[in-house]
Structure 1
């Protein structure tokens, strides 16, 4: 198989076969998360969002009671032009605006992350699965009110058919091959910025080799 070619029965996510939903990444929910540190959730959600933007993945932001708590600014800054769909209900799939947005993308695969895992994320995932979508959950760009709440929420979604992955795996799956030069440099710079130890390793390699940041 030549570089950049994929088999007809390819099981992986690609930039053009899915949409991304980011549900209620807001300050009150974030401050109440106990399954992860707030920094971890912010970093991984921002990594996820920036990765989706590099690959031009259709992305929807949602909030609940936005007049009381905005979406956290690191995420909003990735999509400054987008006003999140604001709801009062706990299940974003109950909102006809969200359903219409998803339907209008024409995608049958959805990648979803949100706060809290056991409530707003789980409800949306269970509903979209029931509606016939193939659903992936980004577990480290989510968080629960307790470790048990997060774990039970993930278990419930996986038992229903959701497929778990992490933000770094999501971006790696979309990049897939470093010979894809149109995105490779931006992905490498993103990992350097938000990719933890791997990102620091990239920066060290660039420094040792005297290379420009983002070189692959």
Structure 2
């Protein structure tokens, strides 16, 4: 079961001009920023990763600005697990459940989710916070990740699932994310 105590959020490659060229980019970015804010409210660790920032640029300001004390982990492999430092950072969070968002659904997110599942993690893919440059590639990436064993969720669904109780002080803090 995904709980705030057993879950971490992984944000993959939400960088530069590439992020702005995604299918439904504004909605995807809104989903990612809401997921990060919600994770922070619930005390869930967040790890953000960048693919070759020298070429693709850094994490977009609206996401990076939410993580001012965190330096993005970088990679050149499409699969996050191709970088031993990233694997160790995920392991060090000691959370068996991972929420994943980012881009591109059919490349880096897909390959990373496939590897995270093979490492024994339970993975929920935040579908409204994942995209590709085309709708077709986004759909294909989502289908392949679900077939591999990930579960689909949405920002609102996962955060309400994690907060569990409208009487929780965190619930009131989460509400503005959905208005």
Q: What is residue 53 of structure 1 aligned with on the other side?
A: 40
Task: Within 5 Å, give how 1:1-216 maps onto structure 2.
Answer: 11=1, 13-34=2-23, 36=24, 38-68=25-55, 69-181=57-169, 183-189=170-176, 191=177, 195=178, 199=179
Counterpart CA distance in 2 for 1:101 and 1:91 is 15
Q: Which has the higher strand share?
A: 2
Do the aligned partners of 1:47 and 1:167 also contact (CA within 8 Å) in 2? Answer: yes
Structure 1 residue 153 displacement after superposition: 0.6
> Unaligned stretches of 5+ in structure 2?
none
Structure 1 residue 20 displacement after superposition: 1.1
Structure 1 residue 55 displacement after superposition: 0.8
What TM-score, normalized by structure 1, do the two folds share? 0.79
Structure 1 residue 66 displacement after superposition: 1.6
Counterpart CA distance in 2 for 1:67 and 1:149 is 25
CA RMSD of aligned residues (A): 1.2
1:141 is paired with a residue whose SS is strand
Structure 1 residue 32 displacement after superposition: 2.8
What TM-score, normalized by structure 2, do the two folds share? 0.95
List 4+ stretches of structure 1 deviating above 3 A. Answer: none
Which of these two proteins has the greater Rg computed from alpha carbons?
A: 1
> Unaligned stretches of 5+ in structure 1?
1-10, 200-216
Counterpart CA distance in 2 for 1:70 and 1:52 is 21
Query: Which moved further from structure 2: 54-63 or 102-111?
Result: 102-111
> Whose RCO is larger (CA < 8 A, sep 6+)?
2
Counterpart CA distance in 1 for 2:82 and 2:114 is 12
1:82 is paired with a residue whose SS is coil
